[in-house]
Structure 1
């Protein structure tokens, strides 16, 4: 611990009677020059801020008069409590930190005004101690403030997600008062976002390295989700309520207002996600229509994927026939079972899927699969032989499309 000279202690002792006056001066006059301070409530300035200033000045003077470090460790606790309180009240961090910096300067001015001839060395010593103590206090204040804001923001996001989830699954009443705050009390657009893949890091050896890589992958995945959320907010010009996560469908999104998705929405989302994405869009006329629109959007995604459509923006009209053919039921289960005889031959199913997706063009199918056209013909012939589905007839083609859709959408 730095040894404080008797001259420095004497100067600090002469300042001690001025603490109350100095606190009022800072809280009511000095801090008024800070942007945003004048708008604070008068009782906050006169009571809480003035009390914090008194505490800070006395803390410094006690550390000079009794430099054992105990006062510092106990005294910083109040600064942390006040920082958490200011964060909860919404005071900007820059205003909080500026008040601490300005308070240090005003205290230095008071020390300078109190010093007399021959106190030059003591004044320099106190200035050194003041600067040395300031960074610890500011660090504690900033850390506590940011921790508190992080906790508040996390709670707000969790509450927001809960509201969005309730609206999507129909458990939140359409007339709920909080929907107005989200802008979801009228027509909106519901989006289903296809799978956003998790980045995969190169695996190291050992459990420690493996866990570190898993954590890194988790961070990278969350960064992708944040980038996707940022694109949604920028494209639609509002903070878009969204549930983004892992899974076959990475997200469900509710865009306030009767809006149309712009042409560049999916390309921008794909760049943010690092992979080509599928997005299904379904309008909802009222909040009560949102759960149904969300289910339809998810079905459109699955049907588009099963049909072999390329990633992009999908609407119900884009897959209208396929959507209808893929509806579940007893007949649907029986149609899906028609492909059971080739369930153990994935290459036959893939060839059938690709052939139908390319309009039954054998050469386009061959190119897409990297096969000779004759190989495509042979595989289709074996599929017909095993299943009895004749792809040369319109009925057989429709049956094959329906069977694939029903199998791949889990109907």
Structure 2
């Protein structure tokens, strides 16, 4: 036995679905006119688009609303399929999501105004029932539009990222054939990046994707041309286009700081300017400098080779590295001596500042320095020996990772 059809909702003695269904085509055109009048973006659309796709999807929505009122139920997934398809098309056309949602909200408001105009004093119960239904319709449509729009934009972004990764890979491989037809900048700031541990903030997979998107977008916002990147959740390579006469290093600090703020995590970056054919060498150097910076425990920020020249050189394979670090081995039995010697060099050979840093008396600093000299034969007062001490400390940092 079939279920009895629900009683029609009535306003002014006429069923609500008839109030919508009879003038549907005329009402759809009136709504599209309101979109063009009240929403700036729709005002700029060509007339053939307004009369075509926009009017068709508006008519479809009015039919769905009419059925929602007649059958007293939310819209079905099948009924929302054309809505999702339309939202995906708008995403591909570059229509902002807020403009799209504004059109749906305006349409619902206009429909409701049109229906209310027929309500009489005895229609309160049906007005309330119709209000609940149109709210359910509005919620379902908003969810469908947002989901379809975001899915399409993500698919477009994924395609763009695949193409970008392919370009970066071709640049790094020096594959001129793969780069045929690709418009490249005359120079790039090649930046190797590392992001702080995202798990420290309890971020889930969704948060990680959002962080990466914000990180990637920040570079583009601060660039005058198309930024190329090959990034994941831990960092990666970014190629920022530079003007022909622009100094390569000057903007690195600003760019890394902006990307860090956008991602909400500490960011380390090592930068090197290069023409397209030098990108492979610049990327290799930037990655090596970044590795040295991270191994030394340097704070987040932008670095270049000049910032770690000695440490970088000492990080290259060499028998001299162990020998340099071994110059300070006699101090290993007394960590206070090694710590004092390091602080003395860090403070520019200032015994009082060294004492303050170590929270000891200046006489204690003098005593420890004399002991260090006696054990190692290296006196920081002697310029030649001072250089050897500095190199030995750098070698120890390199070997010990900090």
Using structure 2 for the length normalisation, give the TM-score.
0.67
CA gap 1:176/1:340 in 2 versus in 1, 3 angstroms:
farther
Match of 1:186 in 2: 186
Residue 76 (structure 1) shift: 3.3
Residue 214 (structure 1) shift: 2.5
- Is 1:188–1:256's contact at 8 Å kept on the other side of the alignment? yes
Among candidates 222, 240, 244, match of residue 255 of structure 1: 240
Residue 49 (structure 1) shift: 3.3
**Equivalent runs, 1:322-341 vs 2, <5 Å:** 323-324=312-313, 327-339=316-328
Match of 1:397 in 2: 386
Residue by residue over 1:328-357, the C-alpha shift from the partner in whole angstroms, topping out at 9 and shown as x without a partner, is 323334434545565676554443333333
- Is 1:280–1:315's contact at 8 Å kept on the other side of the alignment? yes
Gaps of 5+ in 1: 201-212
Residue 162 (structure 1) shift: 3.4
Among candidates 46, 67, 91, match of residue 62 of structure 1: 67
- Is 1:242–1:252's contact at 8 Å kept on the other side of the alignment? yes
CA gap 1:221/1:25 in 2 versus in 1, 3 angstroms:
closer
Match of 1:206 in 2: none
Among candidates 334, 337, 358, match of residue 347 of structure 2: 358
CA gap 1:345/1:195 in 2 versus in 1, 3 angstroms:
farther
Residue by residue over 1:356-391, the C-alpha shift from the partner in whole angstroms, topping out at 9 and shown as x without a partner, is 333444444333333334444554555556666565
Matched residues in 2 for 1:153 and 1:371: separation? Answer: 62
**Equivalent runs, 1:81-160 vs 2, <5 Å:** 81-104=85-108, 107=111, 125=126, 129=130, 131-145=134-148, 147-148=150-151, 151-152=154-155, 155=158, 158-159=161-162
Match of 1:214 in 2: 202
Moved more, 153-162 or 82-91: 153-162
Matched residues in 2 for 1:266 and 1:19: separation? Answer: 54
CA gap 1:44/1:361 in 2 versus in 1, 3 angstroms:
same
Residue by residue over 1:158-199, the C-alpha shift from the partner in whole angstroms, topping out at 9 and shown as x without a partner, is 54873686478x24747836863xxx5222334456875779
**Equivalent runs, 1:362-373 vs 2, <5 Å:** 362-373=351-362
Matched residues in 1 for 2:114 and 2:323: separation? Answer: 90
CA gap 1:60/1:344 in 2 versus in 1, 3 angstroms:
farther
Among candidates 3, 9, 12, match of residue 17 of structure 2: 12
Matched residues in 1 for 2:89 and 2:213: separation? Answer: 31
For the residue of structure 2 that corresponds to 1:368, the secondary structure is helix
For the residue of structure 1 that corresponds to 2:41, the secondary structure is coil
CA gap 1:303/1:238 in 2 versus in 1, 3 angstroms:
same
- Is 1:193–1:252's contact at 8 Å kept on the other side of the alignment? yes
Among candidates 259, 270, 283, match of residue 273 of structure 2: 283
CA RMSD of aligned residues (A): 5.3
When the two structures are aligned, how many residues end up with a matched partner? 385
Matched residues in 2 for 1:167 and 1:374: separation? Answer: 62
- Is 2:269–2:301's contact at 8 Å kept on the other side of the alignment? yes
CA gap 1:297/1:146 in 2 versus in 1, 3 angstroms:
same
**Equivalent runs, 1:237-248 vs 2, <5 Å:** none
- Is 2:325–2:395's contact at 8 Å kept on the other side of the alignment? yes
For the residue of structure 2 that corresponds to 1:256, the secondary structure is strand
Residue 123 (structure 1) shift: 11
For the residue of structure 2 that corresponds to 1:409, the secondary structure is helix
Residue 263 (structure 1) shift: 10
CA gap 1:135/1:359 in 2 versus in 1, 3 angstroms:
same
- Is 2:256–2:269's contact at 8 Å kept on the other side of the alignment? no
CA gap 1:277/1:126 in 2 versus in 1, 3 angstroms:
closer
Matched residues in 2 for 1:350 and 1:327: separation? Answer: 25
